[in-house]
Structure 1
Amino acid sequence: MQVAGAAAQEDIKMIKLIIMGQTQCGKTRLISEITSSAYIPNMNGMVFRQKDYNFEDGGRARVMFWDPCGQDRYDSHTRMYTRGSQCAIVCFDVTDRESFDKIEKYMKKLEEGCTDNLVKVLVGNKSDLMQERKVFPDEGEKVAEHYNCKYFETSAETGENVQEMAGYLIKLAYEKELEFPTQSLRLMDAPIGRGGGICWRGGAC
């Protein structure tokens, strides 16, 4: 039974997903909505979640969601967090023009820290706040086209389009992983919180 269990575990594709964006754009709440987990404010530099996915071909993936804080004082850690990511969400707030203007900054960080196999989506969050909108769909679509990715508008508050966006991205990453396998990520490599900070499984705090 243990051998079968180990074999089954090896059949699970390990996928690392990182979400990038300015603080207060709703990305931590977006991850909570995707993973159906309790919302935990990102105050210590990183929020970590995981969720398993099953695909029509019988394959499975365990997705590890990494949510680094968007504050500038955490920028020096971003390269470490992005390393090894197979997929990414670049998020902005449709009611905040400044967060939209910083898309280039986060796209550049992904280019510097991730491999060529990275797949990504651009997400305009808080689409439920229609009367406060400062960025419009055609603007988001134009930027997404520039970065060769798909654009989604979501509401982490209502759940609108959240699972559709995540499902699209994760399936894309899974198919890419089947075609161009990367070195598997281990669960022991995932960060865990301890005493308000970030620690590493199998390592020192």
Structure 2
Amino acid sequence: YNMSSDESYNFVFKVVLIGESGVGKSNLLSRFTKNEFNHDSRTTIGVEFSTRTVQLDNFTIKAQIWDTAGLERYRAITSAYYRGAVGALLVYDISKHLTYESAERWLKELYDHADPHIVVMLVGNKRDLETVRTVPTEEARDFAEKKGLMFMETSALDSTNVEDAFNEVLTEVTRGSISAVTLSNPVGSSSQSQEERKPCCKNS
């Protein structure tokens, strides 16, 4: 775990965890930011966040991951919770179909409060409970595709895909941020824009 000094990063990105209570949001957070898993984790009260600095695509990114107790009990915090978030992991438990069924409702709440361009990944957590799975992978993947979401199954318990889930979201967010910067500042000629210019200049 490379905890580089906080001063040296290119981006700070806020990512929120949403989904029903008990699906493992807090353990995904602690696995990614501290490489810890708590077997008797209590329900999160209110809001907490942890940070971790990662290297992706030659950029140093400080990820600020926010976790909340099943928001339904703390309605007052929703808009503040989502404010400034550029990524979201919508988490369900593959062994509890009800937590998957509520994904649609969480998406609606997310889009009601968050930036419309937010990068969202549907995450089927507790993949270690394969023997009692009630949500087929294909069903969830189809739902994610239909809604334009990224998709991954994870296990915070045995670490499967936890890094990948967060890193894919952060990579996607980084790409979006860079293209936004390039669009608003076309003078900063990236190698790509030079490539695009070449054909035009030959013809002239």
Q: TM-score range by the shorter chain?
A: 0.7 to 0.9
Aligned-pair distance for 1:85? 0.4
Partner SS state of residue 64, structure 2: strand
Q: Is the 8 A contact 1:79 1:109 kept in 2?
A: no
Structure 1 residues 93-123: Cα deviation after superposition (integer angstroms, max 9, x where no partner): 0111110111011101110111122111000
- Greater share of residues in helix: 2
The answer on 1:51 being equivalent to 2:49 is no
Query: 2:194 aligns to what?
Result: none
Structure 1 residues 63-108: Cα deviation after superposition (integer angstroms, max 9, x where no partner): 1000011152113312210111000000000111110111011101
Unaligned runs of 5+ in 1: 182-205
Partner SS state of residue 155, structure 1: coil
Match of 2:10 among 12, 18, 43: 12
Query: Residues 42 and 173 from structure 1, CA distance in 2 versus in 1: closer, same or farther, beyond 3 angstroms?
Result: farther
Q: Is the 8 A contact 2:44 2:68 kept in 1?
A: no
Partner SS state of residue 19, structure 1: strand
Unaligned runs of 5+ in 2: 182-204
Query: Residues 19 and 43 from structure 1, CA distance in 2 versus in 1: closer, same or farther, beyond 3 angstroms?
Result: closer
* CA-based RMSD: 1.9
Structure of greater Rg: 2
Partner SS state of residue 85, structure 2: coil
Aligned-pair distance for 1:43? 3.0
CA–CA separation in structure 2 for the residues paired with 1:138 and 1:24: 23
Q: Is the 8 A contact 1:121 1:150 kept in 2?
A: yes
Q: Is the 8 A contact 1:44 1:69 kept in 2?
A: yes
Relative to structure 2, which stretch is displaced further, 74-83 or 60-69? Answer: 74-83
Query: Residues 174 and 41 from structure 1, CA distance in 2 versus in 1: closer, same or farther, beyond 3 angstroms?
Result: farther
Aligned-pair distance for 1:42? 4.2
Partner SS state of residue 128, structure 1: helix
Q: Give the count of matched residue pairs.
A: 174
TM-score (norm 1): 0.78
Partner SS state of residue 127, structure 2: coil
Q: Is the 8 A contact 2:89 2:121 kept in 1?
A: yes
CA–CA separation in structure 2 for the residues paired with 1:122 and 1:175: 19
CA–CA separation in structure 2 for the residues paired with 1:177 and 1:111: 19
* Percent identity for Structure 1 against Structure 2: 24
TM-score (norm 2): 0.79
